[in-house]
Chains A and B, each alone.
Chain A
């Protein structure tokens, strides 16, 4: 144990939030600069973690442990493996770009950035925690600020409803999972919440069969698994742009990640037993989500339902319990995080200027907003799994893994690729091409430099990962090997 870099990453946003709250509400410029600096620093640190992770050695690295409540075996334990390293990087990216995109926010920016950063702290905390209790602790911290962010700064028509729905869904999910986790704590007899020890606990088969659904489904609510996906499109649509990005880009991964780490890794036998029907739920997510996205007329709902569909792929990748499926799923989490951040940002940029998200009322945005159109199209290509982009690297292995398990389901799921291509291309054509409606002529202002930088960063990431999968896949594979070992050789 040397430099406590993970604690720094986790607590930096929290400290920045407190610092921001110390400013006067009028010092908006200073508040934004502080937020930008802190986010940049967090990204830098997460890049360092990602780059310095020794993928040859694998396992958990950068371990840190501080006693917190020894009586109950709770400690503040951080560590990163090949699964969480890409996700920490993703959080850093979304956090920085989220601040860049929200530069123009004028209503109480002090509180906005403070809540956003508390949320970011929670997200980093979940990805880095190796203690079950702390994982819950950070999980709740990540969930709750969403309520305020959506309810205060969201889209006025649905924000109260959507924020409450989201919070209640996620809270129910997390508490159901909590009961499962406490049962594990009680049953292990080890008197510890340390997940590295619980991994080795070898719970009895009956216990695993009973509790796996609680833990997995509890977290999968946040991952948007059918039939508990309902909060997510509403939440996405009601949220302000940066929050939608966080929400779809990172938070849903939080649910999937926790379902993997706590559900599958701690209760592997239960996972093997229950995966049959989870595959079906994921299949419904994929196909149903894609079809619903196809018929939406609200620009943001299209993206919202596409997230449901794509998160279904992640869940399906998990459910195959094969090396290909798991690798693809984690890759998909990263790729989808970046892609969806771009998509939501693009929706926000169009909406801020046109003041409508009704697709039939939009058109020809490519002329006033060429960079947005390019970025959106690239993200669209990623979304339909085009080779050469990160989406392909992610989705192809998932289908491979699925084929091994059941070729029929793989074929049905593959239908979604066609549907996805349809709705993406339709949206691109209707919003960005065609004729610019007369009312917008000359009234669509350009985007600022920070927006351009954010768009550029996302596109570079998606393309470079598509061309050089080696930038991320080896990391994930070390993590997946560990999961498979827990599953019994795989």
Chain B
């Protein structure tokens, strides 16, 4: 099957198709009637296109067991890249479904195009094996996301969030670029694998380089202390975009970080794993504690989820700290479980805020009577976030803890465990609003929470997915193991 393509095509097959789809959407736009009911077609076009790309990628772009370089070492085609590309395509697919009936995102072809462009950048981030390529991929991802975050031009908060995201992003991007140029200056090379020869001892130069690069990537995955942008940006940007930011964009940061640190600096792993371990512990703790402080009636649920997503970056980082095949596999698995779960959580928020017109935690009141099915999905999503079996979040957490304990990072596992408990309290309190509290003095039957078809479809897929990866673990874990094996 592959013989009909030039051998390099599978390595960038999803990227090519994403570009084609993006152009298609832009071209189709003027031909579509301006009335809103027809505009949904644009969303369905994107969704179906993404589904097709996903299927094609899975069947035609599957890598072999060996990691192969392409385009003069710019990209690598391996399981790590493949697995993450599937994550990104899936997240984009779900996000496009969320866009379909969210005005004004669904009225403009630009929003879909930007989504596709960001996804393209992420796919490149997953396979980038060269400093230049990596930087280009990161920028290709970030710039469309800045625009998407500020997409609601008439909404002050959205504009603020777009601007804030861009300023922070540009700043850390500059720092990252400085770090990358130091790495180049230090070694005279840009290929990640070749860099490793120059980073063998822990000199001040190496420390500086690693530190600067870490700042840039820590921003993408919102590690403490580079997490400050996340709550403001999530709160202001359209909810569907916030969901995409908190999942796909974070996963993209992770894959870049994993590939960079494991291929370029393996000899210094003793040192940077310590830095990452401390950061992971702080990230979990700060994220969970501040999320706890959001728990009040008028608290903003998107802010809460922003802090919780910061905390989750900390858990996922535990696997990287373990720096073993099991560790990386557990991080990949964690990110997958987290991606499904958080997308579901944001989808639920979209459905509720459409009715109540606000993102306050109080708007969840009486949900179990207003829409039992939605409440049940929320139960699944939030329990998975808190790490309860038989849902994805539980297995994922146990895996990162196994990886940590195996490598002797017991204190980190203990910090993780303590944090899970704080997290559990937070998520349970939100669930309490849905299941326990009632609308004051009103009949819930008269305030239903309708669920439009695209959203219902997306949420059903996500809910089933969360349960599936929690129960039938082996195939997903094998995928994660393959991804990790590509690095070691």
Instruction: Determine if B474 and A70 form an interchain contact, defined as CB atoms under 8 angstroms apart.
Output: yes
Instruction: Determine if B477 and A71 form an interchain contact, defined as CB atoms under 8 angstroms apart.
Output: yes
Residue of B nearest to A67 (CB): B474
A172 to B383, CA, bound (A): 16
Query: Which of B390, B405, B424, B429 touches A171 (beta carbons < 8 Å)?
Result: B424
Instruction: Determine if B428 and A167 form an interchain contact, defined as CB atoms under 8 angstroms apart.
Output: yes
Instruction: Determine if A183 and B435 form an interchain contact, defined as CB atoms under 8 angstroms apart.
Output: no
Taking the complex as formed, is A369 at the interface, i.e. its CB lies under 8 A from any CB of chain B? no
Instruction: Determine if B424 and A179 form an interchain contact, defined as CB atoms under 8 angstroms apart.
Output: no
Taking the complex as formed, is B481 at the interface, i.e. its CB lies under 8 A from any CB of chain A? yes
Min C-beta distance of A191 to chain B, whole Å? 10
Taking the complex as formed, is B464 at the interface, i.e. its CB lies under 8 A from any CB of chain A? no
User: Which chain B residues lie closer than 8 Å to A374 at the CB level?
Assistant: none
Known: A133-B398, A183-B405, A186-B406. A152 touches B435 (CB 8 A): yes
Instruction: Determine if A186 and B405 form an interchain contact, defined as CB atoms under 8 angstroms apart.
Output: yes
Indicate the member of A72, A152, A176 with the most B CB atoms within 10 Å. Answer: A72
Taking the complex as formed, is B478 at the interface, i.e. its CB lies under 8 A from any CB of chain A? yes
Instruction: Determine if B372 and A140 form an interchain contact, defined as CB atoms under 8 angstroms apart.
Output: no
User: Which chain B residues lie closer than 8 Å to A108 at the CB level?
Assistant: 368
Min C-beta distance of B219 to chain A, whole Å? 31
User: Which chain B residues lie closer than 8 Å to A21 at the CB level?
Assistant: 376
Taking the complex as formed, is B410 at the interface, i.e. its CB lies under 8 A from any CB of chain A? yes
Residue of B nearest to A185 (CB): B402
Taking the complex as formed, is B461 at the interface, i.e. its CB lies under 8 A from any CB of chain A? no
Please encode chain B, from 402 to 425, with 1 for each CB lying within 8 Å of some chain A CB and 0 for all others. Answer: 100110001001100100110011
Instruction: Determine if B435 and A69 form an interchain contact, defined as CB atoms under 8 angstroms apart.
Output: no
Instruction: Determine if B402 and A72 form an interchain contact, defined as CB atoms under 8 angstroms apart.
Output: yes
A151 to B431, CA, bound (A): 11
Instruction: Determine if B473 and A68 form an interchain contact, defined as CB atoms under 8 angstroms apart.
Output: yes
User: Which chain B residues lie closer than 8 Å to A138 at the CB level?
Assistant: 389
Min C-beta distance of A148 to chain B, whole Å? 7
User: Which chain B residues lie closer than 8 Å to A70 at the CB level?
Assistant: 474
Instruction: Determine if B394 and A152 form an interchain contact, defined as CB atoms under 8 angstroms apart.
Output: no
Residue of A nearest to B475 (CB): A69
A208 to B420, CA, bound (A): 26
Instruction: Determine if A160 and B481 form an interchain contact, defined as CB atoms under 8 angstroms apart.
Output: no
Min C-beta distance of A72 to chain B, whole Å? 7
Known: A167-B428, A168-B425, A176-B417. A182 touches B402 (CB 8 A): yes
Taking the complex as formed, is B436 at the interface, i.e. its CB lies under 8 A from any CB of chain A? yes
User: Which chain A residues lie closer than 8 Å to B414 at the CB level?
Assistant: 179
Known: A67-B474, A140-B394, A152-B435. A175 touches B420 (CB 8 A): yes
A144 to B398, CA, bound (A): 17
Residue of A nearest to B383 (CB): A144
Instruction: Determine if B410 and A183 form an interchain contact, defined as CB atoms under 8 angstroms apart.
Output: yes
Min C-beta distance of A219 to chain B, whole Å? 15
Instruction: Determine if B421 and A172 form an interchain contact, defined as CB atoms under 8 angstroms apart.
Output: yes
User: Which chain B residues lie closer than 8 Å to A148 at the CB level?
Assistant: 435
Instruction: Determine if B390 and A141 form an interchain contact, defined as CB atoms under 8 angstroms apart.
Output: yes
User: Which chain A residues lie closer than 8 Å to B157 at the CB level?
Assistant: none
Taking the complex as formed, is B432 at the interface, i.e. its CB lies under 8 A from any CB of chain A? yes
Query: Which of A111, A151, A171 touches B432 (beta carbons < 8 Å)?
Result: A151
User: Which chain A residues lie closer than 8 Å to B428 at the CB level?
Assistant: 147, 164, 167
User: Which chain A residues lie closer than 8 Å to B417 at the CB level?
Assistant: 175-176, 178-179
Min C-beta distance of B187 to chain A, whole Å? 36
Taking the complex as formed, is A376 at the interface, i.e. its CB lies under 8 A from any CB of chain B? no
Name the interface residues of A41-78: CB closer than 8 Å to any CB of B. 67-72, 74
Taking the complex as formed, is B315 at the interface, i.e. its CB lies under 8 A from any CB of chain A? no
Instruction: Determine if B435 and A137 form an interchain contact, defined as CB atoms under 8 angstroms apart.
Output: no
Name the interface residues of A148-164: CB closer than 8 Å to any CB of B. 148, 151-152, 160, 164
Instruction: Determine if B425 and A164 form an interchain contact, defined as CB atoms under 8 angstroms apart.
Output: yes
Taking the complex as formed, is B151 at the interface, i.e. its CB lies under 8 A from any CB of chain A? no
User: Which chain A residues lie closer than 8 Å to B372 at the CB level?
Assistant: 25, 111
Instruction: Determine if A168 and B424 form an interchain contact, defined as CB atoms under 8 angstroms apart.
Output: yes
Taking the complex as formed, is A136 at the interface, i.e. its CB lies under 8 A from any CB of chain B? yes
Instruction: Determine if A140 and B478 form an interchain contact, defined as CB atoms under 8 angstroms apart.
Output: no
User: Which chain A residues lie closer than 8 Å to B424 at the CB level?
Assistant: 167-168, 171
> Number of contacting residues on B, CB 8 A?
31
A172 to B421, CA, bound (A): 7
Query: Which of B390, B401, B477 touches A69 (beta carbons < 8 Å)?
Result: B477
Residue of B nearest to A25 (CB): B372
Instruction: Determine if B474 and A68 form an interchain contact, defined as CB atoms under 8 angstroms apart.
Output: yes
Please encode chain A, from 176 to 215, with 1 for each CB lying within 8 Å of some chain B CB and 0 for all others. Answer: 1011001101100000000000000000000000000000
A74 to B478, CA, bound (A): 13
Please encode chain B, from 431 to 446, with 1 for each CB lying within 8 Å of some chain A CB and 0 for all others. Answer: 0100110000000000
Min C-beta distance of A194 to chain B, whole Å? 15
User: Which chain A residues lie closer than 8 Å to B368 at the CB level?
Assistant: 108, 111
User: Which chain A residues lie closer than 8 Å to B398 at the CB level?
Assistant: 133, 136, 178, 182
Taking the complex as formed, is B136 at the interface, i.e. its CB lies under 8 A from any CB of chain A? no
Query: Which of B389, B405, B477, B481 touches A140 (beta carbons < 8 Å)?
Result: B389
User: Which chain A residues lie closer than 8 Å to B383 at the CB level?
Assistant: 144
User: Which chain A residues lie closer than 8 Å to B436 at the CB level?
Assistant: 151-152, 160
Min C-beta distance of A470 to chain B, whole Å? 39
Residue of A nearest to B413 (CB): A179
A71 to B420, CA, bound (A): 25
User: Which chain B residues lie closer than 8 Å to A144 at the CB level?
Assistant: 383, 388
User: Which chain A residues lie closer than 8 Å to B376 at the CB level?
Assistant: 21
A178 to B410, CA, bound (A): 12
A37 to B51, CA, bound (A): 43
Please encode chain B, from 361 to 377, with 1 for each CB lying within 8 Å of some chain A CB and 0 for all others. Answer: 00000001000100010
Instruction: Determine if B389 and A137 form an interchain contact, defined as CB atoms under 8 angstroms apart.
Output: yes
Instruction: Determine if B390 and A71 form an interchain contact, defined as CB atoms under 8 angstroms apart.
Output: no
Please encode chain B, from 452 to 488, with 1 for each CB lying within 8 Å of some chain A CB and 0 for all others. Answer: 0000000000000000000001100110010000000
Known: A133-B398, A160-B436, A164-B428. A179 touches B421 (CB 8 A): no
Query: Which of B410, B413, B429, B478 touches A71 (beta carbons < 8 Å)?
Result: B478
Residue of A nearest to B394 (CB): A140
User: Which chain A residues lie closer than 8 Å to B394 at the CB level?
Assistant: 137, 140
Residue of B nearest to A133 (CB): B398
User: Which chain B residues lie closer than 8 Å to A178 at the CB level?
Assistant: 398, 401, 417
Instruction: Determine if B474 and A141 form an interchain contact, defined as CB atoms under 8 angstroms apart.
Output: no
Min C-beta distance of B67 to chain A, whole Å? 20
A88 to B388, CA, bound (A): 23
Min C-beta distance of A276 to chain B, whole Å? 26
Min C-beta distance of B95 to chain A, whole Å? 29
User: Which chain B residues lie closer than 8 Å to A167 at the CB level?
Assistant: 424, 428
Min C-beta distance of B9 to chain A, whole Å? 32
Known: A152-B436, A167-B424. A182 touches B405 (CB 8 A): yes
Residue of A nearest to B407 (CB): A186
User: Which chain A residues lie closer than 8 Å to B389 at the CB level?
Assistant: 136-138, 140-141
User: Which chain B residues lie closer than 8 Å to A72 at the CB level?
Assistant: 402, 477
Min C-beta distance of A193 to chain B, whole Å? 10
A111 to B435, CA, bound (A): 11
Query: Which of A133, A171, A185 touches B421 (beta carbons < 8 Å)?
Result: A171
Min C-beta distance of A147 to chain B, whole Å? 6
Please encode chain A, from 333 to 375, with 1 for each CB lying within 8 Å of some chain B CB and 0 for all others. Answer: 0000000000000000000000000000000000000000000
Query: Which of A133, A151, A168, A175 touches B435 (beta carbons < 8 Å)?
Result: A151
Instruction: Determine if A140 and B388 form an interchain contact, defined as CB atoms under 8 angstroms apart.
Output: yes
Residue of A nearest to B326 (CB): A72
User: Which chain A residues lie closer than 8 Å to B413 at the CB level?
Assistant: 179, 182
Instruction: Determine if A179 and B402 form an interchain contact, defined as CB atoms under 8 angstroms apart.
Output: no
Min C-beta distance of A176 to chain B, whole Å? 7
User: Which chain A residues lie closer than 8 Å to B435 at the CB level?
Assistant: 148, 151-152
Min C-beta distance of B407 to chain A, whole Å? 9
11 additional contacts (CB under 8 A) given A69-B474, A71-B478, A151-B435: A70-B474, A108-B368, A136-B398, A137-B390, A160-B432, A175-B420, A176-B417, A179-B401, A179-B410, A179-B413, A182-B406
| Residue ranges of B at the interface with A (Cβ–Cβ < 8 Å) | 368, 372, 376, 383, 388-390, 394, 398, 401-402, 405-406, 410, 413-414, 417, 420-421, 424-425, 428-429, 432, 435-436, 473-474, 477-478, 481
4 residue pairs, one from A and one from B, having the closest CB atoms: A175-B417, A182-B405, A137-B389, A140-B389
